[in-house]
Amino acid sequence: MNGPLCNQAHRRDPGTAGKVARSEPQHLEHNVTSTHLSHTTPTRSTLSRAVVIGAGAGAVASLAMAMYAMLAAWSKDTGFFTPLYHIASLFISQDAMMASMKSAMAGSAFHVELGPAVLGAMIHMMTGAMYGAMFAVVVARLALGRSAIVGLGLLYGAMVFAVSSWIGLPIAASVFGSGDQITHMARMAGWGTFVIEHLVFGLALGMLLALRLVPATGDRR
């Protein structure tokens, strides 16, 4: 009497078995798709981390750029600290910049005015941090390897040069009433020098982000 009941209880319904068989591949496909998306689409926390790292890298890269600009100014006998005073004239008078240039012409390349120098450095680093954060978000979304990030950083530096020279600086000069020394900063510094400054920035930024955003074992080049 118990035998038939047991057999009936363990007998599988063909319709149910078919549904289970059909649902398993769909479930596996969904898992594979979800896993793939999680590896290719950056999360909000990943992008936030990229912004922080990019801002820091941009600030450091701006220091490399500033050092090249000051060395170039020193080699041209226009004053070692003149680029910092030039940037500071966005908000204050250009007296420090002019005094530095006159001092250099008289044979003293290191005219020091601490306040304008610190202000110029702060403006420069904050601008570098902004550009660095934007570049880091792009890099995080593209999921590039180290070599590609460095190369893209160099191109990004050239783009920042163009945007700054013909858009950013003229707009800033107009908004803050700074004058022609900001509008025509590239021409005053020298077009060649100004281009190289930004390439130095882009190269340094790319190298820093390549080291921080791409694991050593995950370099896809």
Distance separating alpha carbons of residues 58 and 76, to the nearest angstrom: 27
Measure the CA–CA gap between 64 and 203, rounded to whole angstroms: 10
Judge whether residue 49 has pLDDT over 60: yes
pLDDT in tens, 132-189: 999 999 999 998 999 999 999 999 999 999 999 999 999 999 999 999 999 999 999 9
Could you tell me the CA-to-CA distances from 177 to 91, 125, 180 in Å, in that order? 8, 21, 9
CA distance 152 to 213: 14
Sequence spans of domains, the chain: 1-41, 43-218
Please give the mean pLDDT across all residues of the chain.
86
Q: What is the mean pLDDT of residues 101-111?
A: 96
Helix ranges, 41-184 (H): 44-75, 82-88, 95-105, 114-142, 146-163, 169-176, 180-183
Amino acid at 23: S
pTM for the whole thing? 0.80
On the question of pLDDT at 93 being above 70, the answer is: yes
